[in-house]
Structure 1
Amino acid sequence: MLRLLLCLLISLPVLLVQGSASNSSTKSPAVPASPPPRPPSPLGDLSWALGLRLYQVLRSDSSSVNTVFSPLLVASSLGALGAGAAGNTASQVHDLLKTPSSSKIEGQAGELLAAALNSVNEANGTSFHLHTSSAVFSKQAAAISEAFVKESQTRFRLQHKTLKKGDSKEDLKQLYDWAKAGLSGLEGAPLLEEVKAKAGALILANAMKFKGLWEREFSEDSTDHRTFLGKKYTKVMMMHRAGVYPYHEDINNMVQIVEVPLWGGKAGLVLLLPFHVENLARLEKLLTLEQLSRWLEKTNITSLAISLPKANITSTLSLQKPLSTLGLTDAWDQTLADFSGVSDKSKGKLHLGGVLHWASLELDSQAGKAEADLEDEILDKPKLLYADHPFIIFVRDNTTGALLLMGALDHLEGEALHDEL
């Protein structure tokens, strides 16, 4: 009952605006503009295909909370390393970067990933603020090929760095300092499990900090603290906005789907919210490329009153086990790995020693700088999307359709809710 009353309070200002607009003789109700062209479908996109498979493996761990990562960065780094692999190692990397319709992109994975990275880089500062770094670290390895380094930097924005001589603790500190710089000084990224880089090891590392700039600003009342019903019930700050958005309700699967555009239309945030308060296990079982594509295709421009928590989702992930589960097995074995295209010298067996990933996704109220130029929207009986419980989130590049970020919000820190009865 309390949640229902809160939802009614949120929608009340919208209804009042409707009433005043309908009584005005100088302004007639606006008809929502035609929706922009839909981004390319997730079907056939290798960043979505890899992202969903990796997400399912990561979330199979019952201790996983507030997971977020960049499928595009993981895929592009693996694509760069795969270009320097041969034999069975190369085949396993290439298999990771396939989609159910892989015949359509056979031999084009590198070009598609490079195009997506360029598109995201061009949108930075317009649709979002982004800090990102990707690197391959080598540990006491044979000389790395200049051709490999140049190709990796040019196409995949993957730098080459060396780990200094030292033990695993010193290796981890160097990697952590690099990630902190890549996240623009973000504090609080937890230390990873111990990294044991043997001689000849290659360690892939990605770091991303993302903050979207909404097409229309979310209003924020500093005293507006509501309850987020996650793993624990906590009081958090909620942001509210009424507008028209691509939206769909899947009644059978009890999920709301909304895409909230970012400024300039170059990227969008997709939200999957269960109808009721529950953990995400049921919804996660539904996640396939086909199902996601159907949901997104069925979205229609709808009047919507949205409430989102102000949040910062962060993850620090070691992807060796998940990638091994998905079929990348030889790369970690010194006797089986074949990265002959990475080194100019055959002496010293190169192998993959780790794939490390730091990511941060911030949900804030800020919109793009030219929001004032937008006309007011006249809403007709808005539906309610009240995200006060766990949800799944995607950020996609609208030009290429690539999946920049994927994550789940399970819990928010805040003052614990106490039962006063």
Structure 2
Amino acid sequence: MLPTLSISLLVILISVPAALLSLQGVANDAVDASSQETPAAAAPASPPPPPPPRRPPSPLGDPSWAVGLRVYRALRAPASPSSSSSHINTVFSPLLLACSLGALGRGSGGNTSSQLRDLLKTPAPSSSPSSSSSVVEKAAAGAGDWEEALSGALRTLWREEANGSSFHLHSASALFSKDAPSVDQAFAEDIKAMFGVQHQPLWKGDSQADLLKQLHAWAQAGLGGPDGVPPLGAQIQAKAGALILASALRFKGLWEREFSVDHGDKRTFLGKKYTKVPIMHRAGVYRHYEDVQNMVQVVELGLWAGRASLVLLLPFHVEALSRLDRLLSPELLAAWLDRLDGSNATTSASVSLPVANITCTLSLKEALSALGLSDAWDRKTADFSGVSSSKRANELHLEAVLHWASLELAPDAATGADGLEDESVDKRPKMFYADHPFIALVRDNASGALLLMGALDHAEGEALHDEL
């Protein structure tokens, strides 16, 4: 299945006016007006510079990063050694997927429970050459119960006021089931409270068309009602005992300072097919690192108020992402992100990105099976005894794990960006020109969770000529 792509875009930020610090849950200290008199004719004082946002924890030890990287690599694995990735423009939410699997795990037993938990295991810290001691130390200090880590990340996301100011986000998670065997009310309430997974009964009847219509309508509502939600390509049967996990997330970030774009001046994007697309540009101060050994540029583009950030991984040269896909590991990602935290990481950079909307519909049964989740799909081996106390609970089995996601990259800045002072940019800034495929990571900076992970292999636009 080839996910669709429309031309749009995403947003970013690192610093924040003091009046908006409440977006990070930070209370502003009141200004003591009696300590100093201001002449009536004097211009109003500029707000004091905000403190730098707290840096997020290392991804090592975070289950959203662990399951995200495993699933990404399983999805992107080529069908044969000589072929390219089996998915184009892949994007999904590791946080929502991990929470959905965690919710299902709370009702599972035996081998089914073990296999679900293995998917969410975080790698043990190591002293491999690709990871620094500081990364390992952070991971060891932050290791904890994975259920609480995931639930805590969701609670942080839900209670933040950043949605609408730092980014626009729509999301939903559900567990669909047939009427019989019935899902226990206590289990349904537990997974909703812990992981935000809402139990949804399936329509009566086994019609494939009716089932797909219900799932499509749910995904459209979960994504905030956008047009053009990609249809499911998988064949799904909703027989007695079938459970369907579904999650949907749409994300558009808002930059601290607006990018410039001329929609009439389209440039070439050297992807799977060469296309002409709008490119947005901005020179500013960003966290940037060049891994010369692996020939990868890493840049972090913060969103308004530092609430979240977009991390981009761009090969030095024009190439398909197959090499970079194989290169990714938890330790290497942690090392790159740790480099961005370094004192020398902040630098002047000229950033150019395609205006695009990476939209993807995924059926994850094959990928999760390849990662070791085997018993859950067969009613003869599945153990979901904690989901239902019905005598027919042995009929319960996992029919599908479905995921809809959209990551919009656009030039828009947040409200209030016009009041920021200009940055001091070097005359010869670093160049980050993303005119060829790259990997995108959206990180929630409060919890450190991996909110979105995706790859832009192809930008929709006027075709030039074939392929890499």
Q: Settle same-fold status: TM greater than 0.5.
A: yes
Partner of 2:262: 221
| More divergent stretch after superposition (111-120 vs 68-77) | 111-120
Matched, 1:78 2:83: no
Residue 188 of structure 1 deviates from its aligned partner by 2.3
Whole-angstrom distance in 1 between the partners of 2:237 and 2:263: 46
Contact 2:75 2:86 in 1 (8 A): no
**Which SS does the other structure have where 2:398 is aligned?**
strand
**Which SS does the other structure have where 1:285 is aligned?**
helix
Cα offsets for 1:67-105 (capped at 9, x unmatched): 000000000011111011111111111111111139988
Whole-angstrom distance in 2 between the partners of 1:293 and 1:265: 19
Cα offsets for 1:230-260 (capped at 9, x unmatched): 0111100010111101100111111110000
Matched, 1:259 2:304: no
Aligned-pair Cα RMSD in Å = 1.9
Residue 215 of structure 1 deviates from its aligned partner by 1.7
Whole-angstrom distance in 2 between the partners of 1:276 and 1:45: 31
| More divergent stretch after superposition (138-147 vs 311-320) | 138-147
Q: Tell me, which stretches of 5 or more residues in structure 1 are unaligned?
A: 1-31
* Partner AA of 1:186 in structure 2: P
Whole-angstrom distance in 1 between the partners of 2:118 and 2:168: 32
**Which SS does the other structure have where 1:272 is aligned?**
strand
Whole-angstrom distance in 1 between the partners of 2:448 and 2:118: 21
Matched, 1:63 2:86: yes
**Which SS does the other structure have where 1:224 is aligned?**
strand
Number of positions where the alignment pairs a residue of Structure 1 with one of Structure 2: 388
Whole-angstrom distance in 1 between the partners of 2:147 and 2:436: 38
Counterpart pick for 2:425 among 355, 358, 379: 379
| More divergent stretch after superposition (234-243 vs 159-168) | 159-168
Cα offsets for 1:111-167 (capped at 9, x unmatched): 111111122222322321001110000024322111111111112111011111221
Distance 1:104 1:87, change over 3 A: farther
Aligned counterparts, 1:154-169, within 5 A? 154-166=193-205, 167-169=207-209
The runs of at least 4 aligned residues of structure 1 exceeding 6 Å deviation read 102-107
Whole-angstrom distance in 2 between the partners of 1:105 and 1:175: 37
**Which SS does the other structure have where 2:260 is aligned?**
coil
Matched, 1:115 2:157: no
**Which SS does the other structure have where 1:177 is aligned?**
helix
Aligned counterparts, 1:13-412, within 5 A? 36-61=53-78, 62-101=85-124, 108-121=145-158, 122=160, 123-166=162-205, 167-192=207-232, 193-299=234-340, 300-348=345-393, 349-380=395-426, 381-412=428-459
Whole-angstrom distance in 2 between the partners of 1:326 and 1:142: 28
Contact 1:70 1:405 in 2 (8 A): yes
| More divergent stretch after superposition (54-63 vs 302-311) | 54-63
Q: Tell me, which stretches of 5 or more residues in structure 2 are unaligned?
A: 1-48, 79-84, 126-139
Distance 1:105 1:371, change over 3 A: closer
* Partner AA of 1:203 in structure 2: I
Cα offsets for 1:376-412 (capped at 9, x unmatched): 1011121111000000000011011100000000001
Cα offsets for 1:347-384 (capped at 9, x unmatched): 24211110000001000111111112322101112111
Cα offsets for 1:274-315 (capped at 9, x unmatched): 111100011111101111111111120010010110000011
Whole-angstrom distance in 2 between the partners of 1:294 and 1:418: 37
Whole-angstrom distance in 2 between the partners of 1:257 and 1:156: 31
* Partner AA of 1:309 in structure 2: P
Whole-angstrom distance in 2 between the partners of 1:161 and 1:55: 27
* Partner AA of 2:370 in structure 1: T
Contact 1:67 1:409 in 2 (8 A): yes
Distance 1:137 1:105, change over 3 A: farther
Whole-angstrom distance in 1 between the partners of 2:384 and 2:89: 34
Contact 1:141 1:350 in 2 (8 A): no
Whole-angstrom distance in 1 between the partners of 2:117 and 2:111: 10
Contact 2:174 2:199 in 1 (8 A): yes
Cα offsets for 1:176-229 (capped at 9, x unmatched): 111111112222233222211221111000111111111221112232211101
* Partner AA of 2:296 in structure 1: V
Whole-angstrom distance in 1 between the partners of 2:330 and 2:465: 41
| More divergent stretch after superposition (33-42 vs 70-79) | 33-42
Residue 48 of structure 1 deviates from its aligned partner by 0.5
Aligned-pair identity (%): 62
Whole-angstrom distance in 1 between the partners of 2:175 and 2:100: 8
Counterpart pick for 1:413 among 460, 465, 468: 460
Whole-angstrom distance in 2 between the partners of 1:105 and 1:258: 24
Cα offsets for 1:39-64 (capped at 9, x unmatched): 11111111101100100010014331
Contact 1:119 1:397 in 2 (8 A): no
* TM-score for the superposition, normalised by structure 1: 0.89
